[in-house]
Chain A
Amino acid sequence: MEEISQSMGLAMGLVRQLDQTLLAIAGLSLKVSGVAVLAASLLALPLGAWLALARFPGRQVVIAVLNGMMGLPPVVVGLLIYLLLSRAGPLGSLGILFTPAAMMIAQAVLILPIIAALSRQVIDDAWSEYREQLLSLNATRWQCMRALLWDLRFTLLTAVLAGFGRAIAEVGAVMIVGGNIDGVTRVMTTAIALETSKGDLPLALALGVVLIALVIAINTAAQLMKSYSMRRHG
């Protein structure tokens, strides 16, 4: 109990002092996960929309596989990306292993199925309401997808936030492909893991408190924006 209160105090102290190391680590965390979410969303949202509207043999199997991939183990994803990006791997020539770019790729791969599966479900539900009207207007598949993605943008924000939450809280994949290099690839979660292994539990916990506060702040802001927009646009 004493350790927890000590950690809280330490966390407050770090935030109050605007500790430069903390800011750098938190900043890198946000940057890596932000880019990963953006990249994954650009692929996952259209994929989810396409899967919601498409009808083909084996569609249910594809949906089941996609849903299952929401639980991809981060260390396995990290290992696969590591093998792809290592010198001997097919993408070794890019030379991005142990850089933030590799961490972004790993996180994007990890959360792409989450955003795609959740958006597929949301769009599938809405499609039953919109289908006849859009088909009556002679909208093409592509026009239907775009209309649905735009109309459901506030609801889909929840799927994107779920992906962001998973990305920023993830440690296994970024540890493997990033290497937790101080000042280069150290993010909140890898820093917490390092401090824990060093036995500095109060600092580890303090970093954890800052991480949780960041995630809550971002989710709250997004939620407020969503409810305001829903009220405004119906």
Chain B
Amino acid sequence: MADPAGAGAPAILPLAGSDLSWRAGDVEILREVSLRIEPGTRNIVIGPNGAGKSVLLRMLHGLLAPSGGQLAWATADPLRIRRGQAMVFQRPVMLRRTARENIEFALRVGGMREGVRAAARAALARVGLASLEDRPARLCSGGEQQRIALARAWALRPEILFLDEPTASLDPAATRAIEEIIAAMHAAGTTIVMTTHDLGQARRIADRVLFLHRGRLVEDTPAREFFQQPRSPEATAFIKGELLW
């Protein structure tokens, strides 16, 4: 299990959300979503555009405060909770510095003082980008930037990693590389929560599927069951491609 705070620190998972809602003005984007994220699982959030996937992810990560409902981590230590998670966005935000310095920045902000450079190099090596350590990150390709973003997240040794459609704008080769890194992170003990609109990707990665539709959590089902025998008519239609994406 990933243990960013060191041996003996309390785990932040499971994460329980109850009746989570989020409003943008008069529009209710998320409606009374309740879920539980267990440690070591790969949770894929799917649903058509506008279903509230990204909002849910940002809320779980703490970037958005729920308009209603509650989030409860396994520990009450706020620093431990913040440092126990990381997020990778659809469009990676790279600082105007080298690939290695981008990771060093994250490590220093995360409180690391010693061995920062070595840790950043190791993180880049884990995603197969050791040779790019001195290249300005913004001059790397889209796929490389997303791998750097994953290396940055991995370097923080999060207990849980949130990914918001990390391969949405990548070609199949880059997508495969990203999926391999996610699998490696999961194998190293990181819990995965990821949104995607790619059903094939959901099949490849998910242990469990959270299907959102119009702001509601319509299904929360083991992946195999979701794809073979979806419980809801909305999910059935979505899998058949009958709903708008």
For the complex, is B138 an interface residue (Cβ under 8 Å from A)? yes
Asked if B95 and A151 sit within 8 Å, CB to CB, the answer is yes
Asked if A234 and B110 sit within 8 Å, CB to CB, the answer is no
Q: Which residues of chain B are near A232, meaning CB under 8 Å?
A: 136
The residue from A129, A132, A147, A233 contacting B63, defined by CB atoms under 8 A apart: A132
Asked if A136 and B109 sit within 8 Å, CB to CB, the answer is no
User: Can you list 6 A-B pairs with a CB-CB distance of less than 8 A?
Assistant: A129-B93, A130-B93, A137-B86, A137-B109, A140-B109, A234-B94
Asked if A136 and B96 sit within 8 Å, CB to CB, the answer is no
For the complex, is B82 an interface residue (Cβ under 8 Å from A)? yes
Q: Which residues of chain A are near B126, meaning CB under 8 Å?
A: none
Number of interface residues of A (CB under 8 A): 18
0/1 interface trace, chain A 147-159, chain B, CB 8 Å (1 if under):
1001110000000
Q: A interface vs B, CB < 8 Å?
A: 129-130, 132-133, 135-140, 143, 147, 150-152, 232-234
The residue from A137, A140, A151 contacting B96, defined by CB atoms under 8 A apart: A151
Residues of B68-120 at the interface with A, using a CB-CB cut-off of 8 Å, are 82-83, 86-87, 89, 93-97, 105-106, 109-110
Q: B interface vs A, CB < 8 Å?
A: 58, 61, 63, 82-83, 86-87, 89, 93-97, 105-106, 109-110, 136-139, 156
Asked if A136 and B61 sit within 8 Å, CB to CB, the answer is yes
Cα A151 to Cα B93 in complex, Å, equals 12
Cα A160 to Cα B122 in complex, Å, equals 39
Known: A129-B93, A130-B93, A151-B95. A135 touches B138 (CB 8 A): no
Cα A92 to Cα B159 in complex, Å, equals 62
Q: Which of A137, A143, A234 has the most CB of B within 10 A?
A: A137
Cα A136 to Cα B89 in complex, Å, equals 10
Known: A138-B83, A234-B137. A132 touches B89 (CB 8 A): yes
Asked if A143 and B109 sit within 8 Å, CB to CB, the answer is yes
Known contacts A136-B87, A151-B96; 19 further A-B pairs (Cβ under 8 A): A129-B93, A132-B89, A132-B93, A133-B93, A135-B63, A137-B106, A137-B110, A137-B156, A138-B82, A138-B83, A138-B110, A147-B95, A150-B96, A151-B95, A151-B97, A232-B136, A234-B137, A234-B138, A234-B139
Q: Which residues of chain B are near A150, meaning CB under 8 Å?
A: 96-97
Q: Which residues of chain A are near B106, meaning CB under 8 Å?
A: 137
Give the 3 A-B residue pairs with the shortest CB-CB distance, closest first.
A234-B138, A133-B93, A234-B139
The residue from A135, A139, A234 contacting B136, defined by CB atoms under 8 A apart: A234
Q: Which residues of chain A are near B136, meaning CB under 8 Å?
A: 232-234
Cα A139 to Cα B87 in complex, Å, equals 13
Q: Which residues of chain A are near B97, meaning CB under 8 Å?
A: 150-151, 233
Q: Which residues of chain B are near A151, meaning CB under 8 Å?
A: 95-97
User: Which partner residue on chain B sits nearest A144 by CB separation?
Assistant: B109
B71 to chain A, nearest CB (A): 16
